């Protein structure tokens, strides 16, 4: 039976801490969380927050900015969003896909009469309009898959708070954000509330019922500590990669990537990567593999190809990574 827990909060830092605690401490069974955030820009693990959010707008309008521990791009949350987290055994990492978890969510929406489908690398759309973005994280044989479900949101605030990369959209960025986003409420019977949608979603995702779980006072104290020390920390949210002298960026079907290198004496002394690629783990293994490597195409490719590339950079391949470094425009 699917285990279900509620965070009891609309604070993004707390909610991200809650799901991380479930991932890292609850090692048995399949878990589902449904949660909401007050207005927040949530940036991806490897993104530069200042480049993804209009910080002046966010500060003036009470929009929080937090960093999650999964890859992908920045998203806007408010109380018109219903966010879900699914946590389970990862199984074979090589065969782990976003589709494994997106499929039941799409089926749940279709059971309500909403013609949802999984499209692109990590989106759920309805008639071509995006209503959900998803991401994953691997941890010690377990996987966290989470996503947004855009029930009905303030799209003007969304467009103002986010700063999408110019090459992601045609025309004016804010207008493009609004035009490509859909709302699930528009495909449900008139008068359906978000609470009604939540109840229908729970019933569809867990037809055999839910085992409702609660964390102990001690466990909740650990969640609060993690929220305070990690997800509410400016160093976590706004900490930036070293500004190395060499930097190159490209966009691929698997996402955008920027590679920064500190090269001295023909060898790589340090490296950093950023972008909206679908990382399931931090890029530490990749960065370590590059240290001390001769700065040549063959050496860089050979150094990175043996790392856990699918988990680190999602759909970006070792060949594309190497092209980013050496085929500079």
CATH code assigned at 309: 3.30.390.50
What does the alpha-carbon distance between residue 159 and residue 162 come to, in Å, rounded to a whole number?
A: 6
Residue 250 shares a structural domain with residue 234: no
**Arithmetic mean of pLDDT, 23-31:** 96
Verify that 25 and 157 share a domain, yes or no: yes
Domain shared by 158 and 271, yes or no: no
- 49: which residues sit within 8 A by CB, 6+ positions away? 43, 55, 65, 67, 237, 238
Indicate whether 43 pLDDT > 80.
yes
Q: For residues 210 and 153, state if they share a domain.
A: yes
pLDDT confidence band for 51 (50 / 70 / 90): confident
> Domain boundary residue among 188, 207, 238?
238
Which helix (H) or strand (E) element contains residue 313?
A: helix 309-313
Is a pLDDT exceeding 60 seen at residue 174?
A: no
Domain of 254? 246-326
Strand ranges inside 224-318, DSSP E? 246-252, 255-264, 267-274
Site of tokens 């991401």: 135
pLDDT digit string, tens, across residues 108-151: 999 999 999 999 889 999 999 999 999 999 999 999 999 999 99
- Please, what is the average pLDDT of the chain? 91
Q: How confident is the model at residue 175 (pLDDT cuts 50, 70, 90)?
A: very low
111 in the same domain as 12: yes
CATH number of the domain at 203, please: 3.30.930.10
CA torsion, ordered 225, 229, 230, 231, to nearest 10 deg:
70
Number of domains in the chain: 2
In angstroms, rounded to a whole number, what is the distance separating the alpha carbons of residues 101 and 96?
A: 10
| Of the listed ranges 97-101, 140-144, 243-247, 298-302, the one predicted with least confidence | 243-247
């Amino acid at each position: 039976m699917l285990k279900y827990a509620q965070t009891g909060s609309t604070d993004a830092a707390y909610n991200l801490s809650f799901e991380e605690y479930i991932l890292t401490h609850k090692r048995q069974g399949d878990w589902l969380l449904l949660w909401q955030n007050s207005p927040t820009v949530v940036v991806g693990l490897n993104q530069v927050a200042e480049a993804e959010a209009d910080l002046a707008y966010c500060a003036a309008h009470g929009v929080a900015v937090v960093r999650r521990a999964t890859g992908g791009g920045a998203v806007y949350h408010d109380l018109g969003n219903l966010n879900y987290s699914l946590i389970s055994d990862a199984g074979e990492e090589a065969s782990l896909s976003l589709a494994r978890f997106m499929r039941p969510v799409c089926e749940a929406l279709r059971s309500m009469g909403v013609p949802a489908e999984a499209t692109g690398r990590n989106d759920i759309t309805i008639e071509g309009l995006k209503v959900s973005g998803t991401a994953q994280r691997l941890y010690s044989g377990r996987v966290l898959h989470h996503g947004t479900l855009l029930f009905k949101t303030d799209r003007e605030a969304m467009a103002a708070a986010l700063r999408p990369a110019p090459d992601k959209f045609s025309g004016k960025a804010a207008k493009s954000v609004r035009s490509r986003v859909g709302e699930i409420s528009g495909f449900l019977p008139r008068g359906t509330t978000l609470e009604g949608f939540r109840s229908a979603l729970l019933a569809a995702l867990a037809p055999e019922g839910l085992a409702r779980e609660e964390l102990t006072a001690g466990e909740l104290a650990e969640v609060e500590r993690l929220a305070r020390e990690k997800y509410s920390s400016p160093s976590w949210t706004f900490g930036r990669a070293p500004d190395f002298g060499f930097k190159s960026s490209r966009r691929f079907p698997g996402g955008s990537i920027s590679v920064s290198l500190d090269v001295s004496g023909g060898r790589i002394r340090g490296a950093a990567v950023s972008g909206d690629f679908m990382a399931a783990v931090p890029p530490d293994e990749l960065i370590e593999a590059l240290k001390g490597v001769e700065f040549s195409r063959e050496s860089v490719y050979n150094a990175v190809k043996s790392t856990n590339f699918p988990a680190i950079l999602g759909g970006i391949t070792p060949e594309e990574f190497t092209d980013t470094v050496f085929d500079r425009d």
